[in-house]
Structure 1
């Protein structure tokens, strides 16, 4: 029986006003002319001074504002990386250097080498590494500057998450982070971290790092320079707000089949092979190549929908549990904590 898809996507190609205000607060913190940045971005009002009739802006407006903030600061990190200033144009050159790589692992290593050679730093005490475990199942990407202020390390960790989103675009696959480490203490406000990390985050660790399936490193790059040029027009939106959905991966096709309403029974693996017109062997091989499994896709789909529903007012945790397919609220609590490292109540 076909499943009903209920769209619970938070942004739906629009950006909540809070993200726009955060950009302007950053500009003001660096003593930049906010009014001039808004004019350059062709923004119709000042979100810091006026109460607009809408609580969203378009992805184009948000992306233009990001570009103008970068120009004003002369720093493509937006002033959030504590150890580095990234001159305007550097990121594009790093991305171009990645395009000629045979696979994602080679591309990341090339970006690390490029990054180490062209950024303007206070000193050279920087650790930036890509490591694959001895079993070849898990990869970690890490970054640490030994002199960074501990309270700013979570910004570095979020920057790593943004790079992984770009890497996912390069290979046409969603790269799910299994866990992350932060070299600093847990910040007072964790909404930014929760936006980028739907997985457990451990604080006060030796380095900032993200963990993901090593199978993604074997994936060939699917993008060319012309596609990169188009992507960069809306890159701030797709990297910071909502990753660009891949339509070429089998993971994406399965997520479309599952939809967002989990009150009905999900298709069995055997039924899924029929819906995808694939043999069981082919489907397992394709999923393994994308560093995932059917069970993990189902878990991630439930997790993402639960996170969206928990952000809404008016729904109890028990109601959220029911909507994502759990008849027993305690089972939902256990699963949600396994997925995110937090209980549903703490996450909310």
Structure 2
């Protein structure tokens, strides 16, 4: 049974990987190739308690893109050949403002895509709305969710800031996995709307595009993983916290870090909250990602992983099972298979 996400645990619900694997298998991609990409077996993929990493979901999506030569993953009325997004992004990054970039993206998709119809409204707020030509192909709404997420996160990257969402509308009923939307689309959510859309303040249309084609080349190399990771931009307080955790092997606590930065812990907490983060969440994110990396090294015992994260072995094993639904050793065996 599908349940609402437990957002206290890092990672991504297996729901998205299940839907993607099922659709690609229906279109002829061997399931073992898909499960090999996500490094899970069928039993774990069906387990709702398991949460996968952005890297796992990204690897699965890249496999589907290449196998089907379709960045719409077989969920649209016709394909976007592999490289379509990169072609559009190169023009967007040359724009002077975000408004100019969005106007180009809407024209690009509406001229070239057999599957997507975008609408851009600029007043009183900036609303980017999406309609699928054949929505029946996207039974679980994965494509609709994905395209809204991608456009919002790519726009954030273009201007180098997180644009708060005023509203996110969905033209469908609340899905069983709607708990995930609190991470994907933070802000007010509305269902059963005439059209699916994201809305931000109109002032963002005048925001300058600060990225270059050189930046874009590096960005494209880490797609689609980058779209599934909570965005933390260089210069932000959250980015500084993650660097501090890496330097001290996650041994820091909030009070110690605040003292080293000559601010109060309350001030640091408020600064992180403004960015939609918390010290606890960032430390947990760092610990999980570091643990997953270390567990794939044959020479690294579970106790060594725990010590590298400034945790006792029992505390680490309990935390890791909360994060992934598996013990560290079971996770290592599953990833190897």
Pair in the same fold by TM > 0.5:
yes
Matched, 1:98 2:85: no
- Deviation (angstroms), 1:162: 1.9
Q: Which residue of 2 aligns with 1:160?
A: 148
Number of matched pairs: 258
Aligned match of 1:74: 69
* Pairing partner for 2:226 from 217, 238, 244: 238
Q: Which among 274, 278, 285 is matched to residue 298 of structure 1?
A: 274
Instruction: After superposition, give the CA deviation of every residue in 1:230-259 in whole Å (9 maximum; x if it has no partner).
Output: 2122221111x21442114689779999xx
Question: Comparing 95-104 with 176-185, which one deviates more in the overlay?
Answer: 176-185
Please name the residue that 2:10 is paired with: 10
Distance 2:271 2:34 in 1: 46
Q: 1:187 aligns with which of 158, 169, 175?
A: 175
**How far does the alpha carbon of each residue in 1:62-81 deviate from its partner, in whole angstroms, 9 at most, with x for none?**
4343222111122102234x
Partner residue in 1 for 2:248: none
Distance 1:187 1:60, change over 3 A: closer
SS of the residue corresponding to residue 162 of structure 1 reads helix
| Structure (1/2) with the larger helix percentage | 2
8 Å contact from structure 1 (residues 63, 233) kept in 2: no
Q: How many Å apart are 1:111 and its aligned residue?
A: 0.9
Say whether the 8 Å CA contact 1:104–1:221 is kept in structure 2. Answer: yes
CA distance in 1, matches of 2:72, 2:176: 22
Q: How big is each residue's C-alpha offset from its partner over 1:10-60, in whole Å with a ceiling of 9 and x where there is no partner?
A: 24xxx7766555543332233321234566x5x7x5522679xxx677755
Structure 1, unaligned runs of 5 or more: 1-7, 277-293, 310-348
Name the counterpart of 1:34: 31
Cα distance in 2 between the residues matched to 1:127 and 1:21 = 26
User: Cα deviation per residue 1:253-304 (whole Å; 9 max; x = unaligned)?
Assistant: 79999xx9999xx9xxxx89xx99xxxxxxxxxxxxxxxxx899538446x9
Change (3 A) 1:72 1:206: same
Q: Check 1:77–1:195 CA distance in 2 against 1; reply closer, same or farther (3 A cut).
A: farther
* Structure with bigger RCO (C-alpha 8 Å, 6+ apart): 2
Structure 2: tracts of 5 or more residues without a match:
1-7, 245-251, 286-337
**TM-score where L is the length of structure 1:** 0.59
**Residues 56 and 251 of structure 1: CA distance in aligned 2, closer, same or farther (over 3 Å):** closer
- TM-align CA RMSD: 4.4
Provide the rounded CA distance (Å) in 2 between the counterparts of 1:147 and 1:65: 24
State the shift of 1:140 in Å: 1.2
Counterpart in 2 of 1:144? 131
Pairs within 5 Å for 1:75-224:
75-80=70-75, 82-121=76-115, 127-134=117-124, 138-145=125-132, 148-149=135-136, 155-224=143-212
C-alpha separation in 2, matches of 1:185 and 1:50: 27
8 A contact 1:154–1:183 mirrored in 2: no
Separation of aligned partners in 2, 1:34 and 1:196: 27
